[in-house]
Copies of this chain bind each other. A is one copy, B any other.
Amino acid sequence: MATQLTLTALPDIPLVEPGDDLATIILDAYARADLMPADGDVLVIAQKIISKAENRYAHLEAIEPCPAALALADRTRTDPRLAALILRESREVLRQRPGVIIVEHKLGYVHANAGIDRSNIVSDDEHDPRVLLLPADPDASARGLRDTLRKRCRVDIAVIINDSAGRAWRNGVIGFAIGCAGIEPLRDMIGQPDMFGRALERTQIAVADELAAAGSLLMGQASEATPVVLARGVRFSASDVGTAPLIRARHEDLFR
């Protein structure tokens, strides 16, 4: 039989509000798709709904930009309050030019605007614009959701939280993993011989990022309608190491 991997966008996920119980939302969506949660399932979940459930909104009106934020805003032609938030979420600004702020996020990854999202945010009040920050600890968010699903259904489901980001060298954004639980994010091929017996050079495959990219294909980009994608048939190792192994240490990075 042919090896197969299926990706299913769980249907009709409602708009997520702060405090919503994502486990219930996801199990309801499984039911709507006529599917039962099963061991080995991998859920790829858009960062946006995790952030919303965790109420990671920041109100721009409440922010008093510091001088560094004002200078950054001036150089990049950004709202000074947004620049202040970006600085607050980051370890360091790596590149800046008009319209572009690329930072090393507090969580370690390189991301434009510190991953702060201005789209798809309902602003009830025109005078109080809100933006959405990344989850405070996406690996913990993934772990929490995985644990809840395990308790309720007695199945072992891996969780990947993805976001879209630009890359060096190439145009276009792709999905990548900002949090995971229950899956080893790198598949280690070190020392495994190839088909003809020669030892391979060191190679690790970023399976969590490949799954995040695959899930992104079904998510669209601006749509909130399909923020949860179920992947079945994935070969992976269980682990609760999270996404830390995916992040290249700064001193090992030749392009930072």
Chain A interface residues toward B at CB < 8 A: 1-11, 32-33, 95, 97, 100, 102, 109-110, 118-122, 164, 167-176, 185-187, 189, 192-196, 198, 200-201, 203-207, 209-211, 213-214, 216-218, 221-226, 234-235, 245-248, 253-256
Q: A95-B255, A167-B168, A173-B204 are in contact. List 20 more A-B contacts (CB 8 A).
A: A1-B11, A2-B11, A5-B218, A95-B254, A119-B198, A164-B205, A168-B248, A169-B248, A169-B253, A169-B255, A170-B248, A171-B186, A171-B247, A171-B248, A172-B204, A172-B209, A172-B246, A193-B222, A194-B222, A211-B217
Nearest residue (CB) in B for A95 is: B254
State which of B4, B121, B200, B213 has its C-beta within 8 Å of the C-beta of A196.
B121
Chain B's nearest CB lies how many Å from the CB of A249? 9
Q: Collect the chain B residues with CB atoms within 8 Å of residue A10's CB.
A: 2
Copies held by the complex = 2
9 closest A-B pairs (Cβ-Cβ)? A172-B206, A168-B255, A214-B214, A168-B168, A213-B213, A194-B222, A3-B9, A95-B254, A110-B169
What separation, in Å, do the CA atoms of A87 and B246 have in the docked complex? 30
Query: 27 A-B contacts, Cβ less than 8 Å apart?
Result: A1-B11, A3-B226, A4-B7, A4-B8, A5-B7, A7-B7, A119-B198, A164-B205, A168-B169, A168-B256, A169-B255, A170-B209, A170-B246, A170-B247, A170-B248, A171-B248, A172-B186, A172-B204, A172-B206, A172-B207, A172-B245, A174-B206, A174-B209, A189-B222, A213-B213, A214-B217, A255-B255
